[in-house]
Amino acid sequence: MAQVLVVTSGKGGVGKTTSTAALGAALAHDGAKVVVIDFDVGLRNLDLVLGAERRVVFDLINVINGVAKLPQALIRDKRLETLHLLPASQTRDKDALTEDGVAKVIEELRTKFDWIICDSPAGIERGATLAMRYADAAIIVTNPEVSSVRDSDRIIGLLDSKTAKAERGERVDKHVLITRYHSSRAARGEMLSINDVLEILSTPLLGIIPESQEVLRASNVGSPVTLNNPQSAAARAYFDAARRLKGEQVPMLVFSENRSIFNKLFSRKAA
Amino acid sequence: MSSLVRQRHSLMFRPRSYMAFAITPQPPIVDWLSELDASLQRSEGFFAGQHVALDLSAVNLSSSAIGQLVANLEERNIRVLGIEGVDPAKWQLGLPPVLRGGRGLRTSEPSLLIAPVPPTLAARPVPQEQQPASLMVEEPVRSGQSVIFIEGDVTVLGSVGSGAEIVAGGSIHVYGALRGRALAGATGNARARIFCLRVEAELLAINSYYRTADDIDDSLRCRPAQAWLEGDTLQISAMN
C-alpha cells in the first residue's frame, strides 16, 4: 500500500528539501521503492540536492500537460536504484499546477511506488496546497524558533482542512521533524526547547536533526546526507526518523556531531 | 393518500423566533454611513450571513429615503431582514417587511466592537430551538484560524495558537494556552469573560475594550487567568 507523504513547513529555509532527500534515500536504502517529487515549480532545488540536475529532460508540469509520459520524466538515482526523482519545472510558475493534473500523477505513482514524498514549496499558496492535497501523512519541518513554529502551526491547520483526506472527514497523520537543533544553544535558552515546540504544536515528534556541517557538505556535492555520510549525526537522526515512518519503535536520541548524547553524558561523568 | 397527509402537514404554521442584529441609524444619515464604512473597513465580513434589522426610530425618513438607505446598506453587503420603528403608512412594496415586538437581548448598548474577522473556519451552526448557545471546539485552534460564534460561549479543549482568533458573543474558555486573540462579548455583552489555563495572549477584548500583550502584566504571563470588564477597564487576574 503506497504512502503519500508531504514534507512541508510554511516557512522557507528550514530544511524541507534536505529532509525530503535524506528521508527518501533512507527509505530507499532498505529496498523500498521511493519517488520524491519537487513541487517547487519555478524554484526547483531537489534535483541539485540529489545530484540529478544534469539529467533532467521532462518535469512534473510536462507530465501534467501531457507533453511527456510519467516514466519519461522519472529520474532514477545513480547510487540507489529504488530512489526516483520527479523534478519540477524551472521555467514555469506554480499556476501551471492543476488539481486534476496532480491527482492523476499521484494516482499513477501510487501503483508503482511504496513511498511518494512530495517536497512542498514554502508558503501557503497554490504550490504548497497542491503538494499537501493528496497526502496520507505529513512531515512538518520546524526549526526551534518562534517564527518557524508559528508557521508550522498554520500549516497544521491547513492540513486539517484543505487536504483531500480532511475533506472526506479523515485525518492526515502529522509528524513534526525538528531540524537545525543545537542542544547547547537550546540549553542556554537561545533556542526553543524540544518540549516548547511540541507543546505549541501538540503534534507527535518524528525526529530531531542536529545542526550539522555534514548537511551543507552533502548538499554541495549533490548527495542526500544519508548517502554521503551515513555515520554523521544528522544522517543517523534521519535514518531513525525513516524507521519511525515505517512504524518501528525507535527511542528518541539527540545526536550530536560526533557521538550520541549518551556518549556525551558518559564522558562528562567520567571527567 | 400519503401525499395528501404531507400536504396538510406543510400547511401548519408554527411561530418561531430568530436572533438578529438591530442597527439604528442616527441623523445625519450621511455621517452615520461614513462611520459605518470606517468600522466595516476594520472587519470585512462581520455582517456577512447575519440577520440584520433596521431600527429607524431615531430618524424620520420618507419611504423613498428608506428605500435608498436599504440599497446603501445592501451595497455594503448588509442585507436588511426587516424594518422596525417606522410608521406602517410609510411602508411600500419593495421594502423589507415591518417588524414589531423586538426585544433586546441582555445587552444594554449596541455593539461597537467590530473585530477583524477573516472568514476561515467560521463556525456558525444554525441555532436550533432550545439548544444551549455554546460552541465546543475539541481540538487546538491553529495559527491563522478564526472561530467566530456570535450566538454565545466558546469552549476550546486545547490551545489557541499565536495568530489564531476566537470571537464569541458570550464568554471564552480555553483549556490550554491562549496565545492568539480572544474577543468575548463581541455583540456588546459587557458581562462576558475570558478564562484560560495559560495566558500568553496577543490580545484580549471584551465588548470592544481590549488589551494587547504589551499591556498584560508580566507577572500574569503563562499562568491560569481570567479577564472581565469593570466599567470601561479590562481587568485580568490570575486564578491560582
Q: Does A150 touch chain B (CB under 8 A)?
A: yes
Out of A37-46, A77-86, A169-178, B56-65, which region has the weakest mean confidence (pLDDT)?
Answer: B56-65
Chain A, chain B: beta-carbon pairs less than 8 Å apart? 40
Scanning the structure block, which residue is given the C-alpha cell 548524547?
A: A261
- The answer to whether residue B114 scores a pLDDT higher than 50 is no
pLDDT of residue B121: 46
**What phi, psi does A262 have (nearest 5°)?**
-65, -40
pLDDT of residue B51: 74
- The answer to whether residue B113 scores a pLDDT higher than 70 is no
pLDDT of residue B20: 73
pTM of the model: 0.70
Nearest CA in chain B to A159: B142
Average pLDDT, chain A: 92
Nearest CA in chain A to B177: A200
Of residues A150, A145, A144, A154, the one with CA closest to residue A177: A144
Long-range contact set of residues A164-170: C-beta below 8 Å, sequence gap at least 24: A164/A133, A164/A134, A165/A135, A165/A136
Distance CA B98, CA B86 (A): 8
- Distance, in angstroms, between A136 CA and closest chain B CA? 20
Of residues A183, A189, A206, A195, the one with CA closest to residue A9: A206
ipTM over 0.90: no
Task: Report the 3 state secondary structure along A84-142.
Answer: EEECCCCCCCHHHCCHHHHHHHHHHHHCCCCEEEEECCCCCCHHHHHHHHCCCEEEEEE
Distance CA A117, CA A65 (A): 21
Nearest by CB to residue B144, choosing from A157, A199, A200, is A157
* Mutation site for B-interface testing, chosen from A9, A151, A153 by largest number of B Cβ within 10 Å: A153
- The answer to whether residue A61 scores a pLDDT higher than 80 is yes
What is the residue type of A25? A
Q: Does A151 touch chain B (CB under 8 A)?
A: yes
Tens digits of residue pLDDT in A80-104: 999 999 999 988 888 899 999 999 9
Out of A203-212, B22-31, B201-210, which region has the weakest mean confidence (pLDDT)?
Answer: B22-31
- The answer to whether residue B3 scores a pLDDT higher than 60 is no
- Distance, in angstroms, between A194 CA and closest chain B CA? 17
Nearest by CB to residue A150, choosing from B158, B159, B163, is B163
State how far the alpha carbon of B213 is from the alpha carbons of A168, B178, B231, in Å: 38, 11, 21
- Distance, in angstroms, between B162 CA and closest chain A CA? 6
pLDDT of residue B44: 65
pLDDT of residue A266: 46
Distance CA A78, CA A63 (A): 22
Rg (CA), chain A: 18
Chain A residues in contact with B142 by the CB 8 A cut-off are 153-154, 156-157, 160
Of residues B122, B189, B120, B182, the one with CA closest to residue B156: B182
A67 neighbors A58 (Cβ within 8 angstroms): yes
pLDDT of residue B17: 64
Q: Is B52 exposed, middle or buried (0-12, 13-18, 19+ CB in 10 A)?
A: middle
Q: Is B224 exposed, middle or buried (0-12, 13-18, 19+ CB in 10 A)?
A: middle
DSSP string, B87-146: -GGG--TTSPPB-------S-SS----------SS---PPPPTT--SEEEE-SPBPTT-E
DSSP helix/strand/coil, A75:
strand
The reply to whether residue A199 touches residue B177, judged by beta carbons under 8 angstroms, is yes
Average pLDDT, chain B: 80
What is the residue type of A117? I
Q: Does A153 touch chain B (CB under 8 A)?
A: yes
Q: Does B160 touch chain A (CB under 8 A)?
A: no
What is the residue type of B163? G
What's the rounded mean pLDDT across residues B110-126? 43
pLDDT of residue B115: 41
The reply to whether residue A153 touches residue B158, judged by beta carbons under 8 angstroms, is no
- The answer to whether residue A7 scores a pLDDT higher than 90 is yes
pLDDT of residue B15: 64
Nearest CA in chain B to A200: B161
Out of A18-22, A84-88, A196-200, B1-5, which region has the weakest mean confidence (pLDDT)?
Answer: B1-5
Tens digits of residue pLDDT in A103-153: 999 999 999 999 999 999 999 999 999 999 999 999 999 999 999 999 999
Distance CA A29, CA A172 (A): 26
Please give the residue that has the higher pLDDT: either B46 or B65: B65
Nearest by CB to residue B121, choosing from A150, A161, A199, is A161
Nearest by CB to residue B159, choosing from A157, A158, A202, is A202
- Distance, in angstroms, between B199 CA and closest chain A CA? 13
- Distance, in angstroms, between A157 CA and closest chain B CA? 5
Nearest CA in chain A to B180: A150
Distance CA A78, CA A95 (A): 32
Nearest by CB to residue B145, choosing from A151, A157, A199, is A157
Distance CA B99, CA B202 (A): 41
pLDDT of residue B102: 67
Confidence of residue B5 (pLDDT cuts 50, 70, 90): very low
What's the rounded mean pLDDT across residues A153-161? 95
What's the rounded mean pLDDT across residues B100-123? 47
What's the rounded mean pLDDT across residues B3-20? 57
- Percentage of residues in chain B with pLDDT exceeding 70? 76
Residue B70 Cα to chain centre, angstroms: 21
To which H or E segment does residue B209 belong?
strand B209-212
Of residues B189, B184, B117, the one with CA closest to residue B154: B184
Q: Which of A13-22, A183-192, A255-264, B47-56 has the highest mean pLDDT?
A: A13-22
Chain A residues in contact with B121 by the CB 8 A cut-off are 157, 161
Please give the residue that has the higher pLDDT: either A162 or B23: A162
Tens digits of residue pLDDT in A238-267: 999 999 999 999 999 998 865 545 544 444
